[in-house]
Amino acid sequence: MVNARCFEGLVREFKGRTPRSKKLIERAKRVLPGGETRSITYYSPYPVSITSAIGPIITDSDGNNYIDILNNYTSLVHGHAFGPVVDTAVAAASEGIVYPAPHEAQLDLAEHLIERHPTAEKIRFTNSGTEAALLAIRIAQAVTGRDRLVLFEGGYHGSAPLISGPHPQVIRVPFNDAAALEAALDDTIAAVLFEPCLGVGGVIPADREFVRALRSHTHKVGALLVADEVQTLRASYGGATELYGLEADLVIMAKLIGGGYPIGAVGGPAQHLRILDQSEPGAIAHSGTFNGHLVSARAGLTALEHLTKSAIENMNASTEKLANQIEISGRAHGLPVTVTRFGSMMHVHLQEMRPTQAAHVTPDSTDVAALHLALLLEGIFAAPRGLVALSTALTDIQLELIATGYDRAFARLAT
């Protein structure tokens, strides 16, 4: 779709606008592998280096401004440096930052999450979504006495070896395929880890019939159903679990529940979480120096208190409108553009077919890279692969500027 001359022109213009970012990445390569510390943030020819971010605006080291529609991969639901969260975090830091014992901020956040999410009767905190996923697996293995797992192709539950690549304990099946799931399940499976919407896999929502089959099949073999709501918690007040009416056995949470600070959590019925109760015989040990971190707990609660039902509804409506505008604009320029959406997340695909499984998503290509560079040149900061996650910080005027930015980016690709 994008010819070589067009792509070379985009790269040339990008380099011309970001000379300081180029110098910084060259410096970074001397101390960081590839100049990066997060694989997902890399893109060619090099990523811009960010110096500040306020609300929905990011500024790079060359002074270029971007409207942020990625929000640190869904975690900043109120944009950058959200005033109430900043005030809360500063106050918490002045009280000691982190303690070697329980504290009330942990209780406040846990009580809010339990009130909010239908699966959670008890909460256990970790430092990240990856840690929460691994803890949920340990709980499921302890509860069931089994050790094997079923995961879905295109799903992402963290960077640990057990859940990030091929592993003898793990079976991967196609998303939204009830028959394949049923065939993979037997009495050796401890848990099925399930994202109600594939995030990394292309923002592909689960089909409702598939969700019903998922619950039925896991019940039948006695496997625990673990809902990974690290990204989808933003879709509704009670997360995607509430939207689907899903009776999960455990829920994994992270990202936005820390208000921009590192955090993770596992929630579930008291009967499952009691396996972590150190006053009970046979409890499994689970520690972490920064689990339930004071600043994360306080900041997270403040962010969640501002993430009201009306705020979520407004974000979701804005995302739906923007997704429609992007599809119409792309096709008006003669490009194969399809947008998948779930709540306030979406993914812009450069393909005709609307994917229902990760295998249906066209792999990263020169076209995808070209769109990303074109958006940066138009002042729009999205994920290199096409992911978009809006925030409450965006104004109506900025939302229109985003739609215009996509239109101008598509025009660049169509030349």
- pLDDT mean over 291-304: 98
pLDDT reported for residue 246: 96
pLDDT reported for residue 381: 98
- pLDDT mean over 289-313: 98
Spatial distance between the Cα atoms of 275 and 247, rounded to a whole number of angstroms? 20
- Retrieve residue 274's tokens: 């009691």
- Retrieve residue 18's tokens: 């970001």
Q: Which residues contact 206 (CB under 8 A, 6 or more apart)?
A: 175, 176, 194, 195, 196, 197, 214, 244
pLDDT digits (tens, 9 = 90+) for 226-246: 999 999 999 999 999 999 999
User: What's the DSSP call for residue 249?
Assistant: S
Q: Which residues contact 145 (CB under 8 A, 6 or more apart)?
A: none
For residue 364, pLDDT beyond 80: no
pLDDT reported for residue 363: 77
Under the banding of pLDDT at 50, 70 and 90, the label for residue 362 is: confident
pLDDT reported for residue 56: 98
Whether 139 contacts 271, CB under 8 Å: no
Under the banding of pLDDT at 50, 70 and 90, the label for residue 407 is: very high
Under the banding of pLDDT at 50, 70 and 90, the label for residue 3 is: confident
pLDDT digits (tens, 9 = 90+) for 241-296: 999 999 999 999 999 999 999 999 999 999 999 999 999 999 999 999 999 999 99
Edge-to-edge order in the sheet of strand 345-349 = 338-342, 345-349, 387-389
- pLDDT mean over 81-107: 97
pLDDT reported for residue 132: 98
Q: What is the CATH number of domain 4-77+309-414?
A: 3.90.1150.10
Q: What angle do CA 88, 92, 93 make, to 5 degrees?
A: 120
Residue from 227, 410, 235, 399 nearest 318 by CA: 399
Whether 294 contacts 97, CB under 8 Å: yes
Domain spans of the chain, in order of start: 4-77+309-414, 83-306
Under the banding of pLDDT at 50, 70 and 90, the label for residue 334 is: very high
Whether 43 contacts 406, CB under 8 Å: no
For residue 384, pLDDT beyond 80: yes
Q: What is the CATH number of domain 83-306?
A: 3.40.640.10
Averaged pLDDT of the chain: 97
- pLDDT mean over 127-150: 98
- Retrieve residue 290's tokens: 């920064």
For residue 338, pLDDT beyond 80: yes
For residue 307, pLDDT beyond 80: yes
Under the banding of pLDDT at 50, 70 and 90, the label for residue 365 is: confident
pLDDT digits (tens, 9 = 90+) for 59-76: 999 999 999 999 999 999
pLDDT reported for residue 208: 98
